[in-house]
Structure 1
């Protein structure tokens, strides 16, 4: 009787071991299947991203070629305007004004330089974002400069056009499709005293930002250089109005 009990006990142990081993094998197989599926999904996503990257690169190359072609045509127009023909001086001046407005040429002149840095004050609100520079802060400065008559503005070297975006993307700010972190440096060409007074007046934008400890340094300069817009502007929906459309 005792021998039979030992035998049953041994068989039971073998059964238990087999069950445990089977469970472990099933778990391992499941893990392998999940890993394979994850690898396949990652490979598929990587392939998709690569295709998107290639497509974007081709589009950028096409736009760069278009810019070069337009710049070549613009050079021809400049030469024609400087050829001394009747009305060429007026045409040259108009072309120069249009280039400045469109941001298609480097410009220089007097103005102000503004440097903005994140606050170094102790966090008393519990929200770290309260002490960082946001897109709304930069837009406030830019709008104030435009209202004060700034003729050309750049942010961290990016020429700002009418359709330039300034928006937060995480802890940085995107300008003309490029990402920048603080400190932010703004150049504005115009009447330097008017621009300076517009920013530093009592309860003005510099005053408001200073309440959060954000450092804003404004200096007047006799000569600033603002580079031309390096991107492309494509109009897909807007077009000029012809005489017949205007009369209709």
Structure 2
């Protein structure tokens, strides 16, 4: 096989202490002065994060409904011309806040079994980091789909916009205030041949596929004849930027 990418097998001692400090700080901030230890068990930080993720999802849905009502009232009662409304619709599509439909692809990435052994003769035994999906893997897929001319991209059940950041902490994905576990699904609307070509020509994905072959990481690319990606439902906090003094 061709050479493998380097996956960090262990953290330096300083990094471990920094991570431990971060965990204690997040735990203290989440507790907000309350005792998160119960008589029966210690509520794990991951449980608190997932609970907040569920609440964020509910709030986003409520905000999206209200925003849709406001938009409908503004369009009904507004004095804008048809040309102005057309431009607004185009800008919403470009920003990812309106639905987009068409043919496309869904890419699914899955962790390998925890007890995986080499599937190819001569390949070394895997380190734990070799068996899980990393942030760089998801980012490579998303970037390749954009490069392939995607009209819209969705990761799990969330539409991506220009300020979206795909970040992984441990073996979980944190996207726009919500937490996900593998398998991860990335869906794009666009020309299916161009999207596939972009995936196949991306070096980072070719490196990932070596681990698929060697250790059994999951990789599936499914063609979608017709798929609809709903518009982004979250808030857009970034309004404008100015140079620092």
Name the counterpart of 1:155: 155
Name the counterpart of 2:39: none
Aligned-pair CA distance for 1:219: 2.3
Contact kept? 2:100, 2:228, Cα under 8 Å? yes
Name the counterpart of 1:95: 88
Unaligned runs of 5+ in 2: 1-30, 37-48, 119-123
Q: TM-score, normalised by structure 1?
A: 0.62
Aligned-pair CA distance for 1:115: 1.1
Q: Map of 1:52-67 to 2, 5 A cutoff?
A: none
Q: Secondary structure at the match of 2:35?
A: helix
Residue by residue over 1:160-193, the C-alpha shift from the partner in whole angstroms, topping out at 9 and shown as x without a partner, is 1111121112221111111111111111011111
Q: Secondary structure at the match of 1:108?
A: strand
Determine whether 1:208 maps to 2:203.
no
Contact kept? 1:206, 1:216, Cα under 8 Å? no
Within 2, Cα distance between the matches of 1:231 and 1:43?
25
Q: Secondary structure at the match of 2:220?
A: strand
Residue by residue over 1:115-154, the C-alpha shift from the partner in whole angstroms, topping out at 9 and shown as x without a partner, is 1112344164452112211111100110111111111000
Which of 66-75 and 93-102 deviates more? 66-75
Contact kept? 1:113, 1:221, Cα under 8 Å? yes
Name the counterpart of 2:34: 45
Q: Secondary structure at the match of 2:109?
A: strand
Which of structures 1 and 2 has the bigger CA Rg? 1
Q: Secondary structure at the match of 1:211?
A: helix
Within 2, Cα distance between the matches of 1:142 and 1:153?
7
Structure with the higher fraction of residues in helix conformation: 1
Are residues 212 and 75 of structure 1, via their aligned partners in 2, closer, same or farther at CA, if it must alter by over 3 Å? same
Name the counterpart of 1:229: 232
Are residues 45 and 86 of structure 1, via their aligned partners in 2, closer, same or farther at CA, if it must alter by over 3 Å? closer
Unaligned runs of 5+ in 1: 1-41, 48-52, 241-248
Determine whether 1:71 maps to 2:68.
yes
How many residues in Structure 1 have an aligned counterpart in Structure 2?
188
